[in-house]
Amino acid sequence: MRTLLRPAVSLFVLLSLLTGILYPLLVTGVARIAFPAAAGGSLINRDGKPIGSALIGQNFTDAKYFWGRPSATAPMPYNAAASSGSNLGPLNPALVAAVRSRVETLRAADPDNRRPVPIDLVTASASGLDPHISPAAADYQAQRVARARHLGIQAVRQLIAENTEGRDLGVFGEARVHVLRLNLALDALTP
């Protein structure tokens, strides 16, 4: 029995050390050298202090800010420790009620806006953490933000254009607007 147990325990300790400590340290070290911003959390700083991540959305509700996609994470929106979608199907009454409520909130914040509400403003992404909205969703909110900040609509649309990211490598994905960066640009323009 001892002749079988000793090699098994030795192999377990060796593999645990190799795969549980040495390999993660090696991968982390390579990532910090090759991709320092991403390995550090892709932090966005203002006045030398981190205020968010380029990878995780934030909950903006003030009329003077652009709002991101709804988050389905619990117990609070954009909780990176609880990344998940709502898992509600398109015929689920809870999803229908949530979308109606979000449409009503958007309409109440900008009652003069009668355009169709872009889908990404009323449905959560699969992760519940999406930091981007479509250019159409940003444009839908532009009048409300311009009015709340006492800016011309063209100035707000110019900021949207400046903060719109194109398709990855020119072909993958869709154009998108990073909400936190757009709101920081707005704050730099008017506090």
Looking at every residue in the chain, the average pLDDT score rounds to 91
Domain that holds residue 172: 43-189
User: For position 52, what pLDDT does the model report?
Assistant: 87
Residues 65, 110 within the same domain: yes
Residues 9-24, mean pLDDT to the nearest whole number = 94
Residues 36, 59 within the same domain: no
- Give residue 139's pLDDT band: very low, low, confident or very high (50, 70, 90): very high
- Give residue 136's pLDDT band: very low, low, confident or very high (50, 70, 90): very high
What is the number of domains present in the chain? 2
Give pLDDT tens digits for 27-36.
999 999 998 8
Residues 11, 70 within the same domain: no
**If you compute the radius of gyration of the chain from its CA atoms, what whole number of angstroms results?**
22
Give pLDDT tens digits for 71-99.
888 788 888 888 877 788 889 998 899 89
Residues 60, 30 within the same domain: no
Residues 1, 47 within the same domain: no
Report whether pLDDT(1) > 80. no
Task: Work out the widest C-alpha separation in the chain, in whole angstroms.
Answer: 82
Residues 121, 183 within the same domain: yes
Residues 69, 82 within the same domain: yes
User: For position 45, what pLDDT does the model report?
Assistant: 86
Identify which has the larger pLDDT, 109 or 86: 109
Give pLDDT tens digits for 36-55.
888 888 888 888 898 888 88
